[in-house]
A and B are shown apart, each in its own frame.
Chain A
């Protein structure tokens, strides 16, 4: 278990590294490190919190709004072609 101080240090380092562009031209060690730090600091939406709503275009046509799916479980995966 990390101490709050250690978690704060990791989060600070993570913030400095994440200044790189979202759409990067080259995969670098920084991206590995950001994933490791993100795992340690549990970056993302915490269990028990409301999943942030979004509305995005569907490949199959039309748009999808997450909040309209309430009433049944949803498995939400994030994927890349590379």
Chain B
């Protein structure tokens, strides 16, 4: 199997990481991307107009799994490693050909981005943070907070493989046990106020 990264436009521009207007700068940033993100596989650089990115849908962070015949086996519209892991296993199980797992995952997997997205955002500070907070209040600060908490969150949100079902169940019970008393407290306070 070959892993390939296509290097695209600035998603969150800022001082020093402005919108590309020449390919040399884009090539230099692609080298930095490969080095800083420790990407062990090949990185190719799209043209200035993002021709390849646009043909493939121009979403923010997509991944395609392509089969032996060059056809799309799976389209992970918001890259999520555990989902891709299952798709790859499915493709290997069917002789590396054909569509797997209904072919597409549209789920916006926010948690991985909220845990490690700050690494990208901080390269364009302060403009990148101002812009993203203006576009979606709370998302930039949430990314900062998620990154601060990444030693705790990453083992769950940055996994390459799916969580075992008992662990998922335990996390769901833990979340409910945390949130229910909070909700009871909030609603109870409303009742008391009345």
Interface residues of A (CB under 8 A from B): 18, 21-29, 31-32, 34-35, 38-40, 42-54, 56-60, 64, 66-67, 69-82
Contacts and interface: CB of A to CB of B under 8 A. Distances in A.
A44 B42 contact: no
Given A22-B49, A26-B13, A39 B124 contact: no
B83 to A, nearest CB: 12
A60 B33 contact: no
Contact of A27 (B2, B30, B46, B131): B131
A73 B96 contact: yes
A24 B20 CA distance: 9
Query: Majority SS of interface residues in chain A?
Result: loop
Contacts of A27: 11-13, 128, 131-132, 135
Contacts of B108: 39
B148 interface: no
A6 B45 CA distance: 36
Interface of B: 1-14, 17-21, 27, 29-34, 36-37, 42-75, 77-79, 84, 88, 91-92, 96, 99, 102-104, 106, 108, 120-121, 123-124, 127-128, 131-132, 134-136
Contacts of B17: 81-82
Nearest to A64: B44
A62 to B, nearest CB: 10
A78 B53 CA distance: 7
A56 B6 contact: yes
A59 B44 contact: yes
A18 to B, nearest CB: 8
B33 to A, nearest CB: 5
Contact of A77 (B27, B63, B136): B63
